[in-house]
Amino acid sequence: MTDAGIEAFGAAGREAAEAAGGKIRGGLGRLRRNRMAVVGMVIFGLIAVACVIGPALIPFDFTIQDFSVISDPPSLTSGHLFGTDDLGRDLAARVLVGGRTSLAIGLLATFVAVVVGTGFGAIAGYFGGAVDQVMMRLVEVLFGLPFLFFVILLTMLTGRGILAIFVAIGVVSWLTIAVIVRGQALSIKQKEFIEAARAGGMKPFTIVRRHIVPNTIGPVIVYASLLVPEVIIAESILSYLGLGVQEPQTSWGALIDAGAAAMETQPYQLLFPGSALALTLFSLNFVADGLRDAFDPKDR
Amino acid sequence: MLRYFLRRLLIAIPTLLALITISFFMIHAVPGGPFDGNRKATPEVMANLNKAYHLDEPLYEQFGRYLWGVLQLDFGPSFKYRDYQVSELIFRGFPISVDIGLWAIAFAALVGIAIGTLAALRQNSMLDYGVMTFGMVGAAVPTFITSPLLQLVFAVWLRSFPVAGWDGGWQHKVLPIFALSLPPIAAISRLTRGSMVEALRSNHVRTARAKGLGLRLVVLRHALLGGLLPTLAYLGPATAGIVTGSVVIERTFSIPGIGRYFVEAASNRDYTMVMGTVIVYGALIILANLIVDLSYSLLDPKVRYD
| Residue B31 identity | P
* pLDDT confidence of residue A72: 67
Which of A141, A184, A230 faces B19 most closely, judged by CB atoms? A141
Residue A149 sits at the chain B interface (C-beta within 8 Å): yes
| Residue A292 identity | R
What's the CA gap between A289 and B6, in Å, rounded?
A: 41
Q: What distance in Å separates residue A261's CA from the closest CA in chain B?
A: 9
Which residue, A279, A246, A278, A272, is CA-closest to A95? A272
Q: What distance in Å separates residue A182's CA from the closest CA in chain B?
A: 9
More confidently predicted of B282 and B213? B282
Residue B186 sits at the chain A interface (C-beta within 8 Å): yes
* pLDDT confidence of residue A76: 65
The answer to whether B192 and B113 have CB atoms below 8 angstroms apart is: yes
* pLDDT confidence of residue A4: 45
* pLDDT confidence of residue A15: 45
What's the CA gap between A279 and B213, in Å, rounded?
A: 42
Q: What distance in Å separates residue A161's CA from the closest CA in chain B?
A: 18
Average pLDDT over residues A271-289: 81
Using the predicted structure, report yes or no on whether residue A22 has a pLDDT greater than 70.
Answer: no
Using the predicted structure, report yes or no on whether residue B92 has a pLDDT greater than 80.
Answer: yes
Enumerate residues 226 to 265 of chain A having a beta carbon within 8 A of any beta carbon in chain B.
226, 229-230, 233, 236, 256-257, 260, 263
Which of A143, A179, A218 faces B195 most closely, judged by CB atoms? A218
Q: What is the pLDDT of residues A91-106, one digit of tens each?
A: 777 888 888 888 888 8
Residues in chain B: 306
The answer to whether B114 and B196 have CB atoms below 8 angstroms apart is: no
Q: What is the pLDDT of residues B198-215, one digit of tens each?
A: 887 777 777 877 887 777
Quick one: what percent of chain B has pLDDT higher than 90? 17
The residue among B191, B206, B247 with the most chain A CBs within 10 A of its CB, best to mutate, is B191
Q: What is the pLDDT of residues A130-139, one digit of tens each?
A: 898 899 999 9
Q: Which residues of B touch A233 (CB under 8 A)?
A: 142
Q: Which of A1-5, A103-107, A212-216 has the lowest mean pLDDT?
A: A1-5
Residue B57, φ and ψ in degrees, nearest 5: -75, 160
CB neighbours of A261 closer than 8 A, spacing ≥ 6? none
Average pLDDT of the residues of chain A? 78
What's the CA gap between B25 and B28, in Å, rounded?
A: 5
Q: Which of A114-118, B40-44, B98-102, B103-107 has the lowest mean pLDDT?
A: B40-44
Please give the angle made by the CA atoms of B5, B11 and B15, to the nearest 5 degrees: 135
